[in-house]
Amino acid sequence: MKANLPIRSRTRRWILSSFLLLAGPLVFAQIAVTGTITDGTDGSPLPGANVAIKGSTQAVMTDVDGKYSITVPAKETILVFSFIGKISKEVIVADQTVINVNLEDETTSLSEIVVVGYGTAKRKDLTGSVASIASKDLNPGINPNPLQAIQGKVAGLVITQPSGDPNQNPTVRLRGYTSLAGGSDPLYVVDGMIGVPISSVSPNDIETMDVLKDASAAAIYGSRAANGVILITTKRGKVGAPTISFDNYIGTSLISRRYNLFDGPGYIDAVRRIKGESALSDGLRFPKDASGNYYNTDWIKEITQNAFVHNHDLSIAGGSTGLTYRGSVNYLNQEGLVKYTGLNRATARINLDQKAFDNRLNIQYNLVYTETKNKYDIGAIERATTFLPTLPIRNQDGSYYEVLGNFSLFNPVAMIENYTNQQNKKLTQGGLNLRYEILDGLTLGVNGQLQRESGVSEFWTNPNIKAFQGNNGRASKSYWEGHSKLMEVTANYYKNLAGESNFAILAGYSYQQNDNSGFQAANSGFVTDFVTIDNLGLGSGTLINPSNNYATSYRNQAKLISFFGRGTLNLNDRYNLTATIRQDGSSKFGKNNKWGLFPSFGAGWIISNEEFFGEPTGLNYLKLRVGWGQTGNSEGINPYNSIMLYGPSGTYYDGSVGDFLPGYAITQNANPNLKWEVLETTNVGLDFQIMSGRFSGTVEWYNKLTKDMLYNYSVPANGVDYFTGSILANVGSMKNSGVEFSFGGAVVEKPKFTWTPQLVVSYNKNKVVSLSNDQFQTGQIRFNPFGGRGLSDVFASYLTPGRPLGEFNNVPSFLEFNSNGEVVMKGGDGQGTTDVSKSDAYVAVEAGNPIGQGNPQPFLTGALSNNFTFGNFDLNFQLRGTFGNSILNNIRNNLMIPGSILETNMLEDMNDLPDNYNTNRLTTMWIENGSFVRLDNWQIGYNVPVKSKNLSRARIYLGGNNLLLFTKYKGIDPELQTKGDLESNSSQRPNALGLDYSTVYPKTRSFQLGVNLTF
């Protein structure tokens, strides 16, 4: 045995030496790698991010500053960088010892967290139709309203900015028109607060916007969700060192398109040709200067300006694991195209998040203050369009030049320099959201919100100015305020089951109270223009022309109590079931319908996870969703609409005082059956991903039926059943059905070049189903008034069951002009006629089968967004369009009448019409194709390489809005106001739809230069 020991000893040494020889390079080749992981959205550090060696279990996490240090065995090692909600990245170490990584949001991932109302869900578990837009995907450019920032981003969500007026809010319609008197705007929820004014939110504060499009997703909000729900989540702090962000831009806006009106010489030539040389002897319309020359004034130029805008946003965020914070201040100053108009807004927001008791207790605090000043136009664009170009701005004595004795020509410069029309608004909102996990999986929540909004409006016109002499220089001042209180209590239980299964149950109670009040005082007949609105008692109007509208006030209150619940079941990562129910009780409803019940159901099937689907090839993900539900629309019901009201009605003579006193009478009929509109929706969706998730898309079909539609019906005031001539009731129905398609992904994905487009397309078909029943009849509802010289009580549309809302079905077909300059229309017998009562449109309406001459609703809307990166450069732009809609060009009609050449300026195109055409007529001659494609927004940026210890990100950019427009439409712009609801709560006439009329404020083309800095 001992003789063999040396041999064993030598063997051990040989084995050890061989091991060291082989292992030595591995031991001594280890490389220390350090770096920082940051958020690709804002450049802030990501604490808790994971850094792992691919193929091993070795990994480290970043510290509170996003920094890490890891030792790797070789240059060929691949490091995997990951963080929840971010797209993971793999990097080969090679010769690098410092590797800094930006992780982008995982927006196309199936694990993306989506806000769904009173909670969140993974995208792959959704059964309803929900679209999400992250802050980095918001539209660039000058967007004072958050809605402009998501224009063209969501299929089926049509957002229209009808003019360049910075004080005008966009019109929003989701999947078509669903109501007349009920309102068609979505419900806005900001950080859990229901009913926040969307215009008060700064786009820089937004983290995500989630759009609940169908009833399966939106029914949790009950009687206010029929038009969809837009949930806004604002940015919050993250664990780590403080980060300071400064975003600033300056810009300018100019008129994008304007009418080709006659200039001075062109107008004189047209008058000479049509009216003869003698017409130029009119010294009022054709004055001459001291040199004996005619004037040549561009009135549009005189009242407009290249509008300047500047926006400044400063935020600070950070915190520890127990408390995070984010505070921001935003200031926007945007001038209007029309001089002395504009928007001025300041916003301050602070969000705090607190965790305690091993993260079982989570508290969110929100506080925001917004102050806005609006300076409004007074209709000067309309007057500048028609005022004669041969007139000077002022007389030789400095007074404003006017055409005396004419009641349609007013000096627009005099108007804009002698009026006040402004409003100052203040909004304060505070909220607390508390969630406590009392048992594993069982979380109780309390959400409390307070909101106070107030405003002061001031209006004054100078009585010495011709345009304002009609109201005798009226001045008024008003104050209003609104208070909203919201308290919600929820209980949510979540349980993981075996495998990839789980279920959740939500139950909740909600109470919201809205109080509104206000008053106004007015007067007229001021002897001086010096005091404007500062001393209303100096006016003589209250003495000379007594009325009860010089001082008014109001107060109202509405309460909504709700119980709601939701259950979700996800089985084997294949099957998803969702059921929601909400019961709303509202003080606005009639006594027989105080409570409404709104159920919904949804199911999802991830087909690609089934065994029969096989191994993924090109198509790696496929999911079918089906949903049905009912939501309500009560926004068109004002407080006290369901009860009988008394109000002032005429006067009566009181002999005891020897004077007339105000009388009182019933001013509103009671309707104990008044309730919400019901919108029943069926939705079928197909979600898919191809090429390992590189591209993703959705196809959806929906059918929406509005029942119990609200409308103001005429009734006989017999003193028994009804005491006034109208009543708000639930009668009619309207239908929308359509298909939506969205698709996008990374077409090119290289280290130094990427191209990521996103396409959204939607088709919608709208139809009015019914308007009357056995109890209430509408008769003929006329709207889209076609106005102008020589026209009275002329309407282009009848609201007709079986037809689209707004259809031009009362427009005679144009054939030609006869030798006398008269319009020849197609008659009911197919022959030509100059008599409107014998035209094809008139005969068809009388026969009960109107002729559809055009639909103002497009059959197709779409947008294509493109995002490029090239090294340190980035470029993004969006093309957006609508197709298949018609526009009735009422403005062009009124500016193309040779016979009225002395009464208004005209378009140069008027020269193409017969000189003896002088009788205004509504015909198809003025219906045009409203389709367009617009380069909506664009921005090119450069990320400046940063080597400073304090500055982590610097980016400069150049961008703008509305650079190009492709259309055949001859008006200023084909994108018009698209409300389609009633003109007021008491009106029976819908707002104009597809009608281009005289009050259009021009669209803008804007350019901006900005910088983003993160410290």
Q: Which of 49, 80, 103 is the last residue of a domain?
A: 103
Terminus-to-terminus CA distance in the chain, angstroms? 75
Q: Residue 998: in which H helix or E strand, if any?
A: none
- Per the CB < 8 A criterion, the answer to whether 300 and 233 are in contact is no
Domain of 93, in residue numbers: 31-103
User: Is 5 within a domain?
Assistant: no
User: Is 655 within a domain?
Assistant: no
- Per the CB < 8 A criterion, the answer to whether 85 and 106 are in contact is yes
**CB proximity list for 516: less than 8 A, separation 6 or greater:** 480, 481, 482, 483, 554, 555, 556, 557, 639
Q: Are strands 932-943 and 873-883 parallel, antiparallel or unpaired?
A: antiparallel
Q: Which of 46, 48, 71 lies closest to 61 in space, CA to CA?
A: 48
In the chain, how many domains are there? 2
Q: How far is CA 830 from each of CA 101, 797, 824, rounded to the nearest angstrom?
A: 74, 21, 12
**Residue whose token pair is 């487009």:** 757
Other C-beta atoms lying within 10 Å of the C-beta of residue 786: 25
Distance (Å, rounded) from C-alpha 6 to C-alpha 2? 8
Phi–psi pair at 875, nearest 5 degrees? -140, 135
What pLDDT is recorded for position 636?
A: 80
What pLDDT is recorded for position 25?
A: 41
Beta bridge partners of residue 647, listed in sequence order: 665
- CATH number of the domain residue 987 falls in: 2.40.170.20
- Per the CB < 8 A criterion, the answer to whether 282 and 317 are in contact is no
Q: What is the DSSP string of 250-269?
A: EEEEEES----B--HHHHHH
Other C-beta atoms lying within 10 Å of the C-beta of residue 24: 10
User: Is 157 within a domain?
Assistant: no
SS3 content of the chain, % helix, strand, coil (to 5): 15, 50, 40
Distance (Å, rounded) from C-alpha 444 to C-alpha 488? 11
Q: Which of 103, 125, 143 is the last residue of a domain?
A: 103
User: Is 788 within a domain?
Assistant: yes
What pLDDT is recorded for position 785?
A: 93
- Per the CB < 8 A criterion, the answer to whether 226 and 182 are in contact is yes
Q: Are strands 659-668 and 677-690 parallel, antiparallel or unpaired?
A: unpaired
Q: Which residues of the chain have pLDDT under 50?
A: 1-12, 14-28, 107-108
**CB proximity list for 259: less than 8 A, separation 6 or greater:** 385, 891, 895, 907, 972
Distance (Å, rounded) from C-alpha 121 to C-alpha 126? 7
Q: Which of 882, 973, 891, 909 lies closest to 257 in space, CA to CA?
A: 973
Compute the CA torsion angle 433, 435, 436, 441 (nearest 10 deg): 170
Q: What angle do CA 711, 717, 719 make, to 5 degrees?
A: 130
Distance (Å, rounded) from C-alpha 570 to C-alpha 574? 7
User: Is 150 within a domain?
Assistant: no
Q: How far is CA 754 from each of CA 91, 103, 748, rounded to the nearest angstrom?
A: 17, 15, 5
What pLDDT is recorded for position 614?
A: 80
Compute the CA torsion angle 715, 721, 724, 729 (nearest 10 deg): -60
What pLDDT is recorded for position 280?
A: 96
User: Is 405 within a domain?
Assistant: yes
Burial class (CB in 10 A: 0-12, 13-18, 19+), 882: buried
- CATH number of the domain residue 91 falls in: 2.60.40.1120
- Per the CB < 8 A criterion, the answer to whether 356 and 271 are in contact is no
Q: How far is CA 991 from each of CA 181, 458, 732, 978, rounded to the nearest angstrom?
A: 11, 26, 18, 8
What pLDDT is recorded for position 109?
A: 58
Three-state DSSP state, 825:
strand
For residue 350, the number of C-alpha atoms closer than 13 Å in the C-beta half-sphere is 5
What pLDDT is recorded for position 16?
A: 46
Distance (Å, rounded) from C-alpha 709 to C-alpha 182? 7
What pLDDT is recorded for position 21?
A: 41
Amino acid identity at 937: N
What's the pTM value of the predicted model, to 2 decimals?
A: 0.87
Amino acid identity at 919: T
Distance (Å, rounded) from C-alpha 831 to C-alpha 809? 19
What pLDDT is recorded for position 66?
A: 87
Structure tokens at 739: 């298909």
Q: Which of 190, 188, 117, 118 lies closest to 449 in space, CA to CA?
A: 190
Distance (Å, rounded) from C-alpha 104 to C-alpha 43? 10
**Residue whose token pair is 């019940």:** 597
Three-state DSSP state, 220:
helix
User: Is 666 within a domain?
Assistant: no
What pLDDT is recorded for position 834?
A: 96
